[in-house]
Amino acid sequence: MISRIYSRFCQTLPAPEGSRGLLVAFSGGLDSTVLLVLAARFAREHGLALRALHVHHGLSPNADEWVAHCEGVCQQLAVPLITARVQLQRGSGDSLEAQAREARYQSLAAHLGEGEWLLTAHHQDDQLETLLLALKRGAGLRGLAGMVPSQPFACGLLLRPLLEVSRAELADAAATLPHGWVEDESNQDTRYDRNFLRQQLIPLLKARWPAMAQTAARTMAICAEQEVLINELAESDWQRVGEGEALRIAPLHALSAARRNNLLRYWIRRQGGEMPSRELLGLLWQEVALARDDANPRLGLQGLECRRHQGRLHLVAPDLAPREEVLPIRLGEAIPLPDGLGTFRLWSSGGEGLRAPRADEPLSIRFQVAPGSMLKPTGRGGSRRLKKLLQEYGVPSWLRGRIPILYYGEQAALVAGLFVCDGFMTPEGGVGWEWRRAAPADGEIYGES
């Protein structure tokens, strides 16, 4: 039995020449024990380094015994074992199940070396559980596609080489091994959704339809192919409709509702947002994209906010508030700006730039001007209020009050990324400036000289 599984195990893995080593997620349970035995054989045959990692969550009174068991199995297989101890916060609002999973993957990511493969023991029955949970959530194709056999992870690859192997096959293989395994008593607690499916629902489904897991796997594979196709379509539409990280609204009208929603989901996902419901997508289109020209609409999207400006849709951080700070700065200094606005730097350039400040003109960075103040950009014939100038320069409303303004004493000399005020430029012996962000978000402005 173990040899048949090993043959399928090898067929699912990439060419071993592409790996710098293997790291096995080893709980000590039945599934991961079989996985570790398979990985040890594969590593020996291909001359690869192999390590196992056990995460001690501290949730079970038997957790220390599990560590001891894992140490014994790894000694028998001559596999180095790493034990990562994590602490979970009861009553934090997140389920312990979700916290444990997050902590587990954080530990695995921290220990995975450059170019290494992380192997996990997810199998065919786990895929069926994943499909049923996705149906419960009302997931789209992305959720119904389930777990993929290979995906980038941390600085290497996450591989699931047992996805086509049933739990029953793994149990038969484990029974032939001398190592034994641990049983997590929490797996019997049907308050957890996965355990309810595993203990109560899936046995009924398999009793009625024995091939349920295999047919579900085929369905998930088809969903995965369809997901690839709609992503390719979305990428093609993005190339025509996207501009920077914004979406131009006019060409969206030419798309069918289904195709437009597909592009909107793609756009939100590529900027790190969570998938919105169909209802929320409808609100985005009706209340933001189709709002009156003089409106300033905004819609919350779980950690992001959709805004409209000059015929384009933007995704920005929510609740971007104007800044009120006054930050002293000196020549040759780079200072951090508040609220993730990056850094601002000044230096003596020797060439064209801002004139050197006088002794009575201390330099500072601010984000506002005094009410009623008028500014005159270099080369313009008259002065205007900052609000009007920002409108002329096309600055979105959510960025106003968040743009660094360099002051000489009590006079604004530079609005970063937009203009230098009249009387502050010099052709030589000047001061250079730079406003830099490590990862600019949509609609943000840079400025330097």
Known binding-site positions for ATP: 27-32
Pairing of strands 298-300, 150-153: unpaired
Inter-axis angle of helices 212-241 and 124-137, nearest 10: 60
Residue owning tokens 């119904």: 144
53 bridge partner residues: 25, 82
For residue 292, count other CB atoms closer than 10 A to its CB.
7
Three-state SS sequence of the chain: CHHHHHHHHHHHCCCHHHCCCEEEECCCCHHHHHHHHHHHHHHHHHCCCEEEEEEECCCCCCHHHHHHHHHHHHHHHCCCEEEEECCCCCCCCCCHHHHHHHHHHHHHHHHCCCCCEEECCCEHHHHHHHHHHHHHHCCCHHHHCCCCCEEEECCEEEECCECCCCHHHHHHHHHCCCCCCCCCHHHHCCCCHHHHHHHHHHHHHHHHCCCHHHHHHHHHHHHHHHHHHHHHHHHHHHHHHEECCEEECHHHHHCCHHHHHHHHHHHHHHCCCCCCCHHHHHHHHHHHHCCCCCCCCEEECCCCEEEEECCEEEEECCCCCCCCCCEECCCCCEEECCCCCCEEEEEECCCCEECCCCCCCCEEEECCCCCCCEECECCCCCCEEHHHHHHHCCCCHHHCCCCCEEEECCEEEEECCCEEECCCEECCCCEEEEEECCCCCCCCCCEEC
- Binding-site residues, in ranges, read 27-32
